[in-house]
Amino acid sequence: MKKLGRYYNRMATHGWPPTAHDEVMSMFLRSFIPPNKNYWTEVEVYDGTEMRRVDIVIEDDNEGYTLIEVKSEPNEVDKAIGQILKYKVLFGERYDVSEDKVSVGIVCPSFYPPHKQICNEIGIRLWEVQP
């Protein structure tokens, strides 16, 4: 498989001071990722016109991957649903990983009830993380 991300087992920030996105991402990494788990941030995928970045990719125990999109506001979750579904396909193509080895999720401080219902129905895992 191709090299995943530039930042192996560390947090990538977008500058100082940290953005709300950075704070949610950092809290998720500290709270939900065990120290012995491999993960990458800012993993590149190509959509045919430009390079995109998956916020977090976690290596699973069964040679699979979980792709995570991080949002700092619940009003951004509609966009995240589309992004993470697209990234699942693009990740598989770029890194030669079968789609059944890739799961997806969204991290946000809160979710509206329709988001929870939709994501549950289409297999997107949700994590509520307060920065």
Given this model, what pLDDT does residue 18 score? 79
- Listed by start position, the domains of the chain span 7-128
Whether residue 4 has pLDDT greater than 70: no
DSSP state of 50: S
Q: What is the pLDDT of residues 25-39, one digit of tens each?
A: 999 999 999 888 889
pLDDT > 90: what percent of the chain? 69
Q: For residue range 12-62, what is the model confidence (pLDDT) as tens digits?
A: 545 667 789 989 999 999 999 988 888 998 999 998 899 999 999 999 888
Between CA 74 and CA 111 the distance in angstroms is 5
Q: Would the pLDDT of 122 be above 70?
A: yes
- pTM for this prediction: 0.88
Candidates 1.10.150.240, 3.20.20.10, 3.40.1350.10, 3.40.640.10; CATH matching 7-128: 3.40.1350.10
- Cα–Cα distance between 54 and 56 in angstroms, integer? 6
Mean pLDDT, the chain, rounded, equals: 88
- Residue 131: half-sphere exposure toward Cβ, Cα within 13 Å: 14
Q: Among residues 78, 67, 83, which one has the least CA distance to residue 125?
A: 67
Tens of pLDDT, residue by residue over 82-91, are: 999 999 999 9
